[in-house]
Amino acid sequence: MIDGLRLGAELMSGGVRFCVYTTTAASCAVRLYEAATPSLTRVMTPVGEGVFATTVEGIGPGTRYMFLLDGRELPDPYARFLPAGVHAPAMVMQSGYAWKSGYPRRRGLSEHIIYELHVGTFSEEGTFAGAQAHLCDLANLGVTAIELMPVTAFAGNRGWGYDSVALYAPHSAYGEPDDLRAFVDEAHSWNLCVFLDVVYNHFGPAGNYLAAYSQDYFTSEVRTPWGEAPNFSNAFMRNYVVDNARYWFDEFHFDGLRLDAVHTIVDHSSRHVLRAVSDVAAGAVPPRILVGEDDRKDLSIATDQGMHGVWVNDFHHQVRVCLTDERDGYFASYRPGAANLARVINRGYSTQTVVYYIQNHDQVGNRAFGTRLSADVSCDAYCAVSSLLLFLPMTPLLFMGQEWAASNPFLFFTDHDPELGARVTEGRRAAFHFFAAFSDLTMREKIPDPQDKRTFSMSKLNWSERQTMPHARVYSLYRKWLWLRRNDPVLRHSRLQCIDATANEEVLVVKRWFGDDVRTLIVNFDARSISLNRIDSAADQTQRLEWCSDNFDEDSTLLRPFAAILLASTRRDLQCRR
């Protein structure tokens, strides 16, 4: 790397400096545009190590440009904004945004309640500004952090964002870069942290021009489900990712990152790229939070690579099997029953922070019909497992609309050209062939077409339904539990060692304690009503009823199906697990 040169476009005094790294071209140039018309082409000078550079005087922010490699016109993969899409000219950017809010109160990951959202479907507008209008709703709900699904540029207007190709450019369909800054700034004014979901393990299938600049950005020695893997032994690819993390922290004030599928990031360097990103997060002022997704359930990344926590699927899978007895696909290794749920809770995550959920974008959107858990079980059952999620000391993550049992699905949607769109759809069906809905020919015909605009539209939240039943009931429950999690002397602490789950037939009993204070959550997963007299944990007369579900009769000793109660007591004979 050449010190002092930033790849892409960089504003200088009196003009703009353009830099390109390539191992595929003998000559490079930059072409400027006025509207859609080329206005000037300037030859770039080689400065060593495959880098070409030139400075164009008299231009500034708003200038659009493309690079020419041996005469072939290419978009800039380092662009800060691609207003007309990933195949079109980039725009030279200078932020004039004046930050109004400081950073929110610092919390460790274990203290957070995370709310995951997709910008395009979170509001009717589907923009950063549209999402910003609902920040007061999230603050009033009681969450502490927002996790944005990827917002970097990808092909087309509609998508989940995991096929991004220009990692420095906010997706133009959502708004301009300063609109994203305004979203983060407004969130901070509500004391909400904002985490960004980033994808460093692969690039999307359309609009990825890095390999046209240099094949060294990728390696054929490592294959991922999405093709050739990024080559982190190459200094330019390594810096592309490490500097990207710094970019989101420094220029957009993000409070943390969630790193997608870190188990597919292969780096044989002496210092793993994940460690390099962790060092950037730790060295930022204030320090930032990193969360990894790892399908191997390998929590070592939290310690080995300096990350703060891990998404864990076990709890979600066990909850769904307990409620629906679903057994195909990756649910096949789980068995229903309160005892099995207790075993998952007791698994022993004693040193790492784990993120639990009963829904997230994957676990809803990767279902053939995008059905939410609330659509597949009774309202009583949904409220019961929602209470359990928010009672546990693990960091809870809510997926947008979960707090009112939103009625709309969250489907997989794309906006590729027809040929690529068809290939993506077929590839997706092959990847999920072990689920009946993807393998049964009759059912497959009913799966909404990801390319159809209606598939995207169906996934948009309907905020007005929060005021109608049964959604209002669920919303009230979430607000109550989030209040308890902030204010209860036991629940506001997150010690994973101070928890014990047991099963009495199909009644789940979970105890948490802090100091001398004990809280016990009892949930009936049986289809029959169960007498509380048969449950040892409910027999202690010194306990008081702290909370009960709507389907529990306080004048009765019967615990109806999916009824739940929270008991408070004081004891001195409980010890934290070591």
For the record, the structure tokens of 172 come out as 């133009």
Antiparallel, parallel or unpaired: β 51-57 and 227-230: unpaired
Going by C-alpha positions, the residue among 250, 247, 228 that lies closest to residue 239 is 247
Known catalytic residue: 267? no
SS3 readout for 366-382: CCCCCCCHHHHCCHHHH
Known catalytic residue: 426? no
Q: Which of 293, 326, 403, 465 is catalytic?
A: 293
Q: List residues bridging with 31 in a β-sheet.
A: 41, 66
The three-class DSSP label of residue 148 is: strand
Q: Which of 197, 260, 362, 403 is catalytic?
A: 260
Instruction: Say if residues 184 and 213 touch (Cβ distance below 8 Å).
Output: no
CA distances from 364 to 373, 399, 412 (A): 8, 9, 9
Q: Give the ranges where 103-234 is alpha helix by DSSP (H).
A: 119-122, 128-132, 135-141, 177-189, 210-213
Encoded amino acid at 27, one letter: S
Instruction: Say if residues 114 and 143 touch (Cβ distance below 8 Å).
Output: yes
Spatial CB neighbours of 435, under 8 Å, sequence gap ≥ 6? 328, 329, 367, 368
For the record, the structure tokens of 113 come out as 């309640």
Quote the CA–CA distance of 89 and 71 in Å, as a whole number. 15
If you search the block for the tokens 């789980």, which residue do you land on?
334
The residue count of the chain comes to: 578
For the record, the structure tokens of 282 come out as 């730790």
Going by C-alpha positions, the residue among 453, 384, 379 that lies closest to residue 415 is 453
CA angle 140, 142, 147 (to 5 degrees): 105
Quote the CA–CA distance of 540 and 251 in Å, as a whole number. 56
Helix axes 177-189, 235-252, angle to 10 degrees: 50
Which residues are known catalytic residues? 260, 293
